[in-house]
């Protein structure tokens, strides 16, 4: 049984095939590839975009979706994760999509299930469909020529599962990554690092990926205030001027902390395109895992 827990679960060629399929799904027409199939979503952590994106993707393929309400589920009555998994499995869904605040939970669930498990984000560990949709957005923009393109990943990289999945995936497609963050947000990594976001970096990049400060994962307040952080790392027009580049962000955006209001409206900000691409990518992922397993 194949699952999608990290981006390493798919080979490069499979990802290119997924992109071809996702491109077709961008027409947003309903399909019936997953008619008669049922997909369960179980999100133990807040989500607006990812949850609704998976649900839209599943429905656009004709599947039925069971959205498990975690606040009302038996986990809040003390049921173990293993028992929750066994009970879900007994209902024979065709796929399960899970998000959890603890790293490793989707992997544990996958070992107990008889259907594909898709990781919708686990702790700081991994968010494979987000990285796939980010890469798809880059891939589409540069017409498949990702080799040697320069990307700055800016923000709370250490605590971001989006960053770790992107670092894992983007290098496979030849992107040249520089991590830009203050020391306390910088992970241990052999990649090029910069502790300042300066004009020279901007001059030499093709892509900026801005990330949200993951305050919910900080044990104590690290920056004096988010405003101080914004002074040094917010993507604003003064910084990017008219440089030819594209700007990505997985959302939710903290306006004027991650990205200024002005830049949010800029044509180079592809944030809503990422959301649109996300549905198409998730359609391709669900179709592949359910029909090819």
Contact 131, 169 (CB under 8 A): yes
Neighbours of 237 (CB within 10 A): 12
Dihedral of the CA atoms 172, 195, 182, 147 (nearest 10)?
Answer: -20
User: Is residue 50 part of an annotated ligand binding site?
Assistant: yes
Question: Which residue, 93 or 278, is less far from ligand NCD as judged by CB?
Answer: 278
Question: Which residue, 158 or 161, is less far from ligand NCD as judged by CB?
Answer: 161
Burial class of residue 151, CB neighbours in 10 A (0-12, 13-18, 19+): buried
Question: Which residue, 37 or 212, is less far from ligand NCD as judged by CB?
Answer: 212
What is the smallest separation between the CB atom of 272 and ligand NCD, expressed in angstroms? 12
Question: Which residue, 62 or 187, is less far from ligand NCD as judged by CB?
Answer: 187
Handedness of CA 59, 62, 63, 64 (dihedral sign): positive
What is the smallest separation between the CB atom of 91 and ligand NCD, expressed in angstroms? 26
User: Is residue 123 part of an annotated ligand binding site?
Assistant: no
User: Is residue 2 part of an annotated ligand binding site?
Assistant: no
User: Is residue 127 part of an annotated ligand binding site?
Assistant: yes
What is the smallest separation between the CB atom of 106 and ligand NCD, expressed in angstroms? 13
Tokens of residue 125, six digits = 């560990």
User: Is residue 49 part of an annotated ligand binding site?
Assistant: yes
User: Is residue 99 part of an annotated ligand binding site?
Assistant: yes
User: Is residue 251 part of an annotated ligand binding site?
Assistant: yes
Question: Which residue, 94 or 130, is less far from ligand NCD as judged by CB?
Answer: 130
Question: Which residue, 49 or 268, is less far from ligand NCD as judged by CB?
Answer: 49
What is the smallest separation between the CB atom of 154 and ligand NCD, expressed in angstroms? 13
Tell me which residue has its CB nearest to ligand NCD.
212
Contact 134, 237 (CB under 8 A): no
Dihedral of the CA atoms 77, 82, 85, 89 (nearest 10)?
Answer: -130
List interacting residues with ligand NCD (CB under 6 A): 49-50, 121, 127, 130, 161-162, 212, 250-251
Dihedral of the CA atoms 40, 43, 47, 51 (nearest 10)?
Answer: -10
Contact 138, 149 (CB under 8 A): yes
Question: Which residue, 49 or 150, is less far from ligand NCD as judged by CB?
Answer: 49
Tokens of residue 92, six digits = 């024979």
Handedness of CA 268, 271, 273, 277 (dihedral sign): positive
d(CA 112, CA 224): 44
What is the smallest separation between the CB atom of 253 and ligand NCD, expressed in angstroms? 9
What is the smallest separation between the CB atom of 129 and ligand NCD, expressed in angstroms? 8
What is the smallest separation between the CB atom of 248 and ligand NCD, expressed in angstroms? 11
d(CA 189, CA 176): 14
Angle at 153 between CA 150 and CA 157, to 5 degrees: 150
Q: How big is the chain, counted in residues?
A: 293
User: Is residue 212 part of an annotated ligand binding site?
Assistant: yes
Instruction: Please give the annotated binding residues, written as ranges.
Output: 49-50, 77, 99, 127, 130, 161, 212, 251-252
Annotated binding site for L-aspartate, which residues? 77, 161, 212
Could you tell me which residues are annotated as the binding site for carbamoyl phosphate? 49-50, 99, 127, 130, 251-252
């Amino acid at each position: 049984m194949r699952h999608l827990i990290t981006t390493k679960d798919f080979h490069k060629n499979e990802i290119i095939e997924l992109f071809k399929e996702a491109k077709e799904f961008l027409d947003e027409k309903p399909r019936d590839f997953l008619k008669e199939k049922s997909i369960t979503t179980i999100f133990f952590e807040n989500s607006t975009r990812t949850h609704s994106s998976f649900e839209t993707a599943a429905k656009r393929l004709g599947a039925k979706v069971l959205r498990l309400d975690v606040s009302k589920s038996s986990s809040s009555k003390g049921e173990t994760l293993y028992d929750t998994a066994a009970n879900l499995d007994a209902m024979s869904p065709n796929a399960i999509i899970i998000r959890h605040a603890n790293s490793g939970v989707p992997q544990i669930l996958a070992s107990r299930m008889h259907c594909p498990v898709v990781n919708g984000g686990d702790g700081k560990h991994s968010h494979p469909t987000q990285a796939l949709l980010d890469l798809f957005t880059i891939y589409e923009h540069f017409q498949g020529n990702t080799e040697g393109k320069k990307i700055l990943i800016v923000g709370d990289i250490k605590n971001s599962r989006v960053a770790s999945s992107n670092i894992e995936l983007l290098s496979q497609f030849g992107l040249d990554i520089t991590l830009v963050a203050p020391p306390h947000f910088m992970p241990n990594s052999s990649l090029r690092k910069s502790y300042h976001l300066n004009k020279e970096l901007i001059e030499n990049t093709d892509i900026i990926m801005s990330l949200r400060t993951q305050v919910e994962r900080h044990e104590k307040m690290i920056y004096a205030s988010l405003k101080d952080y914004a002074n040094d790392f917010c993507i604003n027009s003064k910084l990017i001027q008219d440089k030819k580049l594209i700007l990505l962000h997985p959302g939710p955006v903290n306006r004027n902390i991650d990205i200024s209001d002005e830049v949010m409206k800029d044509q180079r900000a592809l944030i809503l395109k990422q959301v649109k691409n996300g549905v198409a990518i998730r359609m391709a992922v669900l179709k592949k895992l359910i029909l090819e397993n």
